[in-house]
Amino acid sequence: MNLHSLCSIFPKLDKTSFEALRSDIQANGLRNPIIVKNGEILDGQNRLQACKDLGITPKYQEYEGEDLVEFVLAQNLHRRHLSAGQSATIVALAQDWSLAHPSGKLPKSNEINGLDDNSKMAKLPTKGLPVDTQSDRAEKSGASKRTQGSADKLVKENPELAMQVATGEITLNKAMKEIEPEKEQSAEDSFDVVHAYEQEVAENQRLHGVIEALTVDDKDKSIISMSERIKGLEGRLNQALATEAEAIKQSKFYAKMLTSIRKLLGVEINNDILIRIKAMKCTNCCRSDYIAGL
């Protein structure tokens, strides 16, 4: 008996889980019948294989519900150890099948194909969420909308690769890299942030050396000049920084600058910087008054 195309999008149980299933069937018999539709296995491929291994005649039920997709997802999606990428891809594949088979919401049928005397007719419940929109599919799969969007795109552009994701042969992220190779960043793009940042760091290191060589009388003027450079740097970098990582670089740069200024002025906290500058100015004024009185 062949697998239904909807059943085939789910991976088989791993060795440990399958052995546990087979042991349970050996001890307790097949408690959940194999669900079929028109002679194809809709749900229960692992149970069927376990019965074959044990020499047990399986029991079948013909599915007579109204929505094959909803039934298969409800029976399998959340009872397996699937990654978010797998779940999202399986839901996307199921929706793709539904679009290709508008008769997937089937009318009732009294025919049973390929069933033995142990089979029964069954109309199983299929209540659940729809999968018509991306939000619906994300809610159904339990993945984020972003992950679901990637899975939807993968199924549309490369269904065969999507099947490999669904069965666990490849991750969704790796599959997306195959259909969307990362664009190489041009030298012009990288210059906006990385190159400009490195140049500013080198220039400010040079300024630190100059400031260290200045007399006490000139330090306040140099600090004011440096502050103006920092403001200019902030304006240029704010235009170039567009991502969180780049913003972190900017923060680290200013932190380093403030650390250097505190060290230069001999203060511990940023709030003492202006106090120290005012004190230096006061000292200069007193020195000037003293010289004028001589």
37 - beta bridge partners?
40
Does 196 map to a domain? yes
d(CA 294, CA 283): 17
DSSP letter at 131 equals: -
Does 1 map to a domain? no
pLDDT reading at 294 higher than 60: no
DSSP letter at 3 equals: B
pLDDT at 22: 92
176 - beta bridge partners?
none
Out of 179, 200, 225, a domain closes at 179
Q: What is the mean pLDDT of residues 15-44?
A: 91
d(CA 159, CA 152): 10
- Does the predicted model carry a pTM greater than 0.85? no
Give the strand pairing for 60-63 and 40-43.
Answer: unpaired
Residue 219 tokens, joined: 């330090």
Looking at the structure, tell me whether residues 227 and 206 fall in a common domain.
yes
Does 2 map to a domain? no
Q: Which residue range forms the structural domain that includes residue 195?
A: 187-293
In tens, the pLDDT along 200-209 reads 766 766 666 6
Q: Which of the pair, 38 or 104, is modelled with greater confidence?
A: 38
Out of 179, 200, 234, a domain closes at 179
Whether 152 and 137 have beta carbons less than 8 Å apart is answered as: yes
Is 153 exposed, middle or buried, given 0-12, 13-18 or 19+ CB atoms closer than 10 A? middle
Confidence of residue 36 (pLDDT cuts 50, 70, 90): very high
Looking at the structure, tell me whether residues 100 and 13 fall in a common domain.
yes
Does 258 map to a domain? yes
pLDDT reading at 229 higher than 50: yes
Looking at the structure, tell me whether residues 118 and 255 fall in a common domain.
no
| Amino acid code (one letter) for 165 | V
Is 101 exposed, middle or buried, given 0-12, 13-18 or 19+ CB atoms closer than 10 A? middle
Looking at the structure, tell me whether residues 36 and 168 fall in a common domain.
yes
pLDDT reading at 236 higher than 70: no
Out of 179, 213, 241, a domain closes at 179
d(CA 129, CA 140): 6
Q: Domain count for the chain, please give it.
A: 2
Looking at the structure, tell me whether residues 120 and 226 fall in a common domain.
no
Looking at the structure, tell me whether residues 104 and 239 fall in a common domain.
no
Looking at the structure, tell me whether residues 202 and 72 fall in a common domain.
no
Does 167 map to a domain? yes
Q: How many CA atoms lie within 13 A of 271 on its CB side?
A: 0
Looking at the structure, tell me whether residues 129 and 267 fall in a common domain.
no
Does 48 map to a domain? yes
Does 202 map to a domain? yes
**Three-state DSSP state, 122:** strand
Looking at the structure, tell me whether residues 167 and 210 fall in a common domain.
no
Whether 93 and 137 have beta carbons less than 8 Å apart is answered as: no
d(CA 36, CA 4): 8
In tens, the pLDDT along 239-279 reads 665 566 666 777 788 888 888 887 887 877 877 777 877 77
DSSP letter at 14 equals: P
Looking at the structure, tell me whether residues 70 and 163 fall in a common domain.
yes
In tens, the pLDDT along 175-188 reads 999 888 754 444 44
In tens, the pLDDT along 133-181 reads 888 888 888 889 899 999 999 999 999 999 999 888 999 999 999 888 7
**Three-state DSSP state, 270:** coil
Looking at the structure, tell me whether residues 175 and 209 fall in a common domain.
no
Mean pLDDT of the chain: 75
CA dihedral in degrees (126, 132, 134, 139; nearest 10)? -20
Looking at the structure, tell me whether residues 13 and 145 fall in a common domain.
yes
